[in-house]
Structure 1
Amino acid sequence: MPGLYFDEWEVGKLVRHPIRRSVTEMDNVLFSSLTFNPQPLHIDFDYAAKSEWGRPLVNSLFTLSLLIGISVHETTLGTIVANLGMTDVRFPHPVFHGDTIRVETECLSKRESRSRPDAGIVEFLHRAMNQDGILVAECKRQVFLQKRPAETPEA
């Protein structure tokens, strides 16, 4: 299913995304390294073993990126003009190596653009849960979406 146009969103619409993703040790270490994040809770197994968690935590910004990424196919693929912002980002439960993440998206609000008649703003609430159904991340995301193009008569 391609992304939806502004016109296709209704407040309250809930999308349960079919893609799920298991998080690996490589994901965590590579993401932390690529982003220059030396937090030992993510990359130092000995240090993490002595923490209250007893094992490494997955980098929360990886979790946020995965949350948004999994949602793209059914929300904004090919219809987005721009991301406008992400607010109210929360990580109520840690993600660990081996957790499988699933995502759902709810449309919270929408409004027509004041400056562009061919677009509008939609606010989503994205939620990520682990394999046990525990909420591990959520954020509100404001996107600028195209409206469905007008049908052109065939020649």
Structure 2
Amino acid sequence: MAGLYLEELDPGLTLKHDVTRTVTETDNLLFTTLTMNVQPLHLDAEFAKATQHGRILVNSVFTLGVVVGIPVGDTTLGTTLGNLGFEEITFPNPVFIGDTLRVETEILSRRESQSKPDRGVVRFEHRGLNQRGEVVCTVRRAGMMLSRRHAESVAAV
């Protein structure tokens, strides 16, 4: 699997993910309407012209999804048992249609489970940046990760 196991996710490790994503008008329109967000700031160009930004803002929950999604291939693909929760989410700068997002992930902490030796908990910080290098989203979260030792022992059976 492409993901990393518990033992490979050392605190302080920072990964700069190669995958990037340009946000389109269709992305924002579909996501916003599918999630029933009727905020005109995300849907109505005329309304958005009169705001401080002068244009449509991309739905922040879409931004969050991209920032958490891009790292999957490099961090948790096939090696996670699930997301345990989000601790802190910030959006220090807006995302606009046409922005290209990239993500960096830092491992904040890791601990082995006391009750289940095949797993442990890793705390991640994902930082989403636009094409100008401005941070547009920071999210801290915890994930339940598989131990390589357990995966190797299962494979040997």
Per the normalisation by structure 1, the TM-score is: 0.96
Match of 1:150 in 2: 152
Deviation at 1:100, TM superposition (A): 0.3
Q: Is the counterpart of residue 11 in structure 1 residue 3 in structure 2? A: no
Match of 2:116 in 1: 116
Match of 1:58 in 2: 58
Deviation at 1:153, TM superposition (A): 5.1
Match of 1:39 in 2: 39
Match of 2:88 in 1: 88
Relative to its length, the structure with more helix (as a share) is 2
**Stretches (4+) displaced over 4 A:** 151-154
Per the normalisation by structure 2, the TM-score is: 0.95
Deviation at 1:87, TM superposition (A): 1.5
Q: Is the counterpart of residue 69 in structure 1 residue 69 in structure 2? A: yes
Report the aligned-residue RMSD.
1.3
Deviation at 1:150, TM superposition (A): 2.6
What is the rounded CA distance, in whole Å, between the counterparts of 1:115 and 1:153 in structure 2?
Answer: 23
Deviation at 1:32, TM superposition (A): 0.3
What is the rounded CA distance, in whole Å, between the counterparts of 2:152 and 2:56 in structure 1?
Answer: 51
Deviation at 1:115, TM superposition (A): 2.2
What is the rounded CA distance, in whole Å, between the counterparts of 1:59 and 1:150 in structure 2?
Answer: 42
Residue-pair matches, total: 154
Match of 2:141 in 1: 141
Matched residue type, 1:35:
T
Deviation at 1:128, TM superposition (A): 0.3
Q: Runs of 5+ in structure 2 lacking a partner?
A: none
Deviation at 1:82, TM superposition (A): 1.1
Q: Secondary structure at the match of 2:152?
A: coil
What is the rounded CA distance, in whole Å, between the counterparts of 2:62 and 2:20 in structure 1?
Answer: 15
What is the rounded CA distance, in whole Å, between the counterparts of 1:34 and 1:114 in structure 2?
Answer: 41
Match of 2:20 in 1: 20
Q: Runs of 5+ in structure 1 lacking a partner?
A: none
